[in-house]
Amino acid sequence: MTSTSTETKVIPLGNDKGNRPDPEVPEQAKRRRYPAAYKLRILEEADRCTEPGEMGSLLRREGLYASLVSNWRKQRESGMLAALSPQKRGRKPGMTNPLSNQIEELKKENAKLRQKLTQAETIIEIQKKISGLLGIPLNPDAAIGIV
C-alpha cells in the first residue's frame, strides 16, 4: 500500500548547523549604545588607517557609519570624554526654574492663609447672627453712646 503523507523534510544546506541568524524582525529596533572605551579604541584604529580602503573596511567590520566616527572625533577634540559615554535621551534633570521651589512654598502658604480667612469670615458671620438674635449691639461705640 502507498501512504500519502504530507510531511516536509528539512534538508540542511552545506555545513550549516543552525548558525543562521534569526530572520524575524524585532517589534521595536534596539538603540545601539557604545561604551567610551570602545569609542576610543575605534578612534585609535581609525587614526592608524592610512591606506585607501582601510577606513571603509574598519567601518564595515564594526558596522559603523563614517558620520558616527566623525562625531566621536569632534567630541574627543573638544575634550568631552564624558560625551563619549552613553547619554540618556530626553529632558535633563535640573533644568528647572531656580525660583520654582520658592514659588511652590508661597503657593502653599497662600492656600493656608485663604483657608484661615474663610474660617475667620465664617466665625464673624455667626457672631453677627447670634448678636442679632440676642439683641446685643455689635458696634462698641454705639453701646457707649458715641456716634
Query: Given phi > 0 = left and psi -120 to 50 = alpha, else beta, which region is 21?
Result: beta
pLDDT tens digits for the chain (147 residues)? 444 545 554 445 555 555 666 677 777 777 788 888 888 899 999 999 888 889 999 999 988 999 999 988 888 887 765 655 666 777 777 667 778 888 999 999 999 999 999 999 999 999 889 988 888 877 766 555 555
pTM of the model: 0.39
Q: Which set of grid coordinates corresponds to residue 106?
A: 508661597
What is the domain partition of the chain in residue ranges? 36-84, 110-144
Nearest by Cα to 81 from 126, 50, 39: 39
